[in-house]
């Protein structure tokens, strides 16, 4: 396996769950153009709120633009919300084309949107929905906006892409022979884990392509947080996972270990803005730091498994993704 020598924790001085004001202290994002998918609920909303407070001009593409505008009222202007369905690559193309026609540069792209542990479904192009939305949709968005990212890097000394992965990557790697469950039985958690491994690998491969242009990319595990991401889970399942009590309230484990939505936005904000990461990229981050590499069979719920940051697997996935999109 080929893993970056930089995939190891550094001294950030932040701790593992700082609030946005601490992370962005002294960071001025005035004049920066930022795009945050899923930026109207959960940790995405808190990410947008913090970036705007730091001076950034933030755009939020949304599958439900009206709901997004309502949630973002008094945070960003209505015209900064655009229509985008990550489950339909034609929708992604249209959004990216429209955005590029209005904005020649993009300083930060945060791929925050996603779906988790949902029933078997297909995207508009026939991809299994979790990897279709979480990986393929963001892949199309990033590649279509590369010129805008490159322009920002040339003008402002760098651009960053942050893609939200998850500790669920520990469930397993990419099943290249049957990525979309055409031949094997569908299992919603395995599918979610595969899609989040893909998101991390996408950051590795993107960074390899973009670093000479000044574009750096990071995969991020935000931590455990109660957000609308759990909408497909019944309370009985969350009880079995140890997340909630029978009455639906947070379990003692969740109360002690889960982050608040503002804390959950922290690692994305760190990845997007911290000068501690200057000159670095292609890394998986958690708890506002570079994650520690752990063994493939580790039971630890922290750290990164090697298959999620391996550059050879990342390149294989990039090429396979391009091939599947080209075949549509």
Contact between residue 39 and residue 60 where contact means Cβ atoms under 8 Å apart: yes
User: Is residue 192 among the annotated active site residues?
Assistant: yes
Pick from 288, 284, 257: which is nearest to 274 by CA? 288
Q: How far, CA to CA in Å, does 49 sit from each of 81, 228, 318?
A: 14, 17, 32
Dist CA 214 CA 210 (whole Å): 6
Dist CA 258 CA 78 (whole Å): 32
Dist CA 70 CA 157 (whole Å): 35
Q: Exactly one of 40, 181, 192, 284 is catalytic; which is it?
A: 192
What b-and-e string marks burial along 39-56, b requiring 16 or more CB atoms within 10 Å of the CB? Answer: bbbbbbbbbbbbbbebeb
Torsion of CA 57, 46, 10, 298, to 10 degrees: -130
Q: How far is CA 172 from the centre of its chain?
A: 18
How many residues are listed for the chain in this entry? 328
Which run of H or E residues covers position 35? strand 33-37
> Is the alpha carbon torsion for 29, 30, 32, 35 positive or negative?
positive
**Catalytic site residues?**
192
């Amino acid at each position: 396996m080929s893993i970056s020598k930089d995939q190891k924790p550094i001294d950030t001085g932040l701790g593992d769950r700082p609030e946005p004001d601490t992370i962005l202290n002294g960071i001025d994002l005035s004049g920066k153009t930022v795009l945050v998918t899923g930026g109207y609920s959960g940790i995405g909303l808190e990410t947008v709120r913090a970036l705007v407070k730091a001076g950034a001009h933030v755009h939020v593409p949304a599958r439900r633009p009206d709901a997004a505008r309502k949630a973002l009222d008094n945070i960003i202007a209505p015209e900064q919300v655009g229509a985008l369905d990550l489950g339909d690559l034609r929708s992604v193309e249209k959004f990216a084309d429209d955005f590029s026609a209005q904005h020649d540069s993009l300083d930060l792209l945060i791929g925050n949107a996603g779906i988790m542990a949902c029933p078997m479904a297909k995207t508009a192009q026939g991809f299994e929905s979790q990897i279709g939305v979480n990986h393929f949709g963001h892949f199309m968005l990033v590649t279509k906006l590369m010129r805008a990212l490159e322009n920002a890097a040339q003008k402002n000394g760098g651009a960053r892409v942050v893609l939200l992965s998850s500790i669920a990557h520990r469930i397993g790697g990419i099943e290249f022979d049957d990525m979309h469950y055409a031949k094997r039985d569908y299992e919603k958690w395995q599918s979610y884990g595969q899609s989040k491994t893909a998101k991390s690998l996408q950051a590795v491969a993107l960074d390899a392509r973009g670093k000479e242009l000044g574009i750096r990319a990071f995969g991020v595990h935000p931590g455990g947080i109660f957000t609308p991401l759990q909408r497909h889970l019944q309370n009985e399942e969350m009880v079995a996972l140890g997340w909630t009590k029978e009455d639906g309230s947070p379990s003692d484990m969740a109360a002690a270990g889960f982050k608040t939505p503002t804390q959950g936005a922290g690692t994305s904000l760190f990845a997007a803005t911290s000068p501690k990461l200057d000159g670095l990229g292609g890394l998986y981050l958690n708890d506002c730091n570079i994650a520690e590499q752990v063994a493939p069979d580790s039971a630890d719920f922290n750290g990164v498994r090697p298959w999620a940051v391996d550059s050879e697997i990342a390149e294989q996935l990039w090429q396979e993704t391009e091939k599947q999109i080209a075949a549509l």
